[in-house]
């Protein structure tokens, strides 16, 4: 048990060392930090509105989310290489994730600066091309997530099994979230049963009167952080490994069922809140 706890505490070199070890991730993080600073600075001086919100609210949400995503992926790449494996693959993955998120959020910020929607905007050829580019890089991001999941499924990392399975389950739910994102595009709007832009929650803008597919999408995306974190916490307990794994799978099953229920409810046009 002592060895397990010691091993768990040495999961990775930490966030700063992770950025130094993954230059692609580092570039993506700092680019989005710069975008976030610019978006926050522009917020109080812009009186325009996109779907009922200040144009800079959406970039801020995406920039915060992407920074968290890239830092999480950086730690996963470090964990994957704890025993020295997959050096070239980790380098390619880091640059792939970093570039994909730079392109995605740069276009969102550009469209907000222009005062127009970034997602599902086919108003002009220019808008449609930008949205298509975003879709291409999100598809790339999903393909990279599949690659990362495959490596975590075949690689011996030296980490406790409950941590490894937390990472695997988190990446799997990330792919589910990607499929939900594709369903939003197929729907042509975030809202079901009404057009986008009606009354929503402050900042998040989730619909208060109709179904909103963004809610399930949000919770599915952040299983990427919750499941590995649950694995780390369970690995620090004195419970037997079999019990740790059982509790992790139980938590992941309940959480995924909750996401599925939110998605089904939104598809029926019913609000969550």
pLDDT tens digits, residue range 32-48? Answer: 999 999 999 999 999 99
Q: What is the DSSP letter of 191?
A: E
Q: What is the pTM of this model?
A: 0.91
Reported as a single tens digit per residue, the pLDDT across 159-180 is 999 999 999 999 999 999 999 9
pLDDT of residue 13: 53
Distance from the first to the final alpha carbon of the chain: 44
Sign of CA dihedral 72, 140, 26, 156: positive
User: Which range (37-46, 82-91, 142-151, 240-249) has the least confidence?
Assistant: 82-91
pLDDT of residue 17: 81
pLDDT of residue 272: 82
Q: What is the DSSP letter of 212?
A: E
- How far, in Å, CA of 43 to CA of 18, rounded? 31
Q: Rounded to the nearest 5°, which phi and psi values hold at 192?
A: -115, 125
Alpha helix segments (H runs only) across the chain: 2-9, 15-21, 23-42, 57-80, 87-114, 125-154, 161-187, 214-221, 223-235, 241-267
Task: Using the predicted structure, report yes or no on whether residue 138 has a pLDDT greater than 80.
Answer: yes
């Amino acid at each position: 048990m002592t060895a397990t706890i010691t091993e768990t505490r040495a999961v990775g070199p930490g966030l700063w060392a992770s950025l130094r070890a993954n230059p692609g991730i580092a570039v993506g993080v700092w680019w989005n930090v710069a975008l976030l600073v610019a978006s926050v600075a522009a917020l109080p001086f812009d009186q325009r509105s996109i779907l009922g919100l200040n144009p800079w609210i959406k970039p801020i949400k995406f920039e915060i989310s992407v920074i968290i995503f890239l830092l999480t992926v950086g730690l996963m790449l470090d964990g994957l290489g704890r025993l020295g494996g997959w050096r070239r693959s980790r380098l390619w993955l880091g640059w792939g994730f970093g570039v994909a998120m730079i392109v995605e959020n740069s276009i969102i910020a550009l469209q907000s600066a222009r005062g127009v929607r970034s997602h599902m905007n086919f108003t002009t050829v220019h808008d449609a091309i930008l949205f298509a580019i975003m879709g291409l890089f999100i598809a790339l991001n999903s393909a990279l997530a599949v690659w990362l999941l495959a490596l975590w499924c075949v690689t011996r990392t030296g980490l406790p099994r409950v941590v490894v399975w937390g990472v695997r389950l988190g990446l799997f739910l990330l792919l589910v979230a990607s499929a939900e994102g594709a369903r939003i595009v197929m729907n042509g709007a975030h809202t079901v049963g009404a057009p986008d832009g009606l009354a929503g929650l402050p900042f998040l803008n989730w619909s208060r009167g109709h179904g909103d597919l963004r809610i399930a999408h949000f919770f599915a995306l952040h299983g990427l952080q919750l499941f590995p974190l649950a694995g780390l916490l369970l690995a620090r307990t004195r419970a037997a490994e079999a019990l740790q794994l059982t509790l992790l799978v139980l938590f992941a099953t309940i959480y995924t069922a909750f996401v599925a229920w939110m998605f089904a409810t939104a598809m029926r046009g019913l609000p969550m809140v």
